[in-house]
Amino acid sequence: MRAYRPVMTIPEAGRAAGHVLLDAVSSWDGSVPIEQNAAAGNLALERLREIGAVRVNVDDDGAEVRVDVTLDDVVGPAVLLLHGALAMLEERGVDQATALAGLRESWDKTTAD
């Protein structure tokens, strides 16, 4: 049985954002200090602004800064990438519930104080 993969309408900036998110993930190197990984990840994510997936707006007087992010441009691609990863795991015999539980556990360990 082929795993279910959702379909969303993603604009070009969103398609490019998916690749940027993958670039940020692939920039991680477990053998270097966390600061170096953070710098590499941030460098990859700066491209979100370049492709128009994240917009920074500053008032004329500079008093207010607004960052605009839309579902289609950033969150949608991230969700579809996760669905794709889950589908690939399912094709290799790991059911979605088990994979999600593992991701949640890993996330909690990664983000715990």
80-91 pLDDT, tens per residue? Answer: 888 889 889 999
For the chain, strand residue ranges (E) read: 54-58, 65-69
Report which listed range, 4-8, 34-38, 104-108, is most confident: 34-38
Single-letter amino acid code for the residue at 52: G
Domain residue spans in the chain?
Answer: 12-111
| Cβ neighbour number for residue 73 with a 10 Å cutoff | 24
Residues in contact with 105: Cβ distance below 8 Å, sequence separation at least 6, in sequence order: none
pLDDT at position 1 over 60 = no
pTM over 0.75: no
21-70 pLDDT, tens per residue? Answer: 889 888 888 899 999 989 998 898 888 888 888 887 888 887 888 877 76
Q: Higher model confidence: residue 100 or residue 63?
A: 100
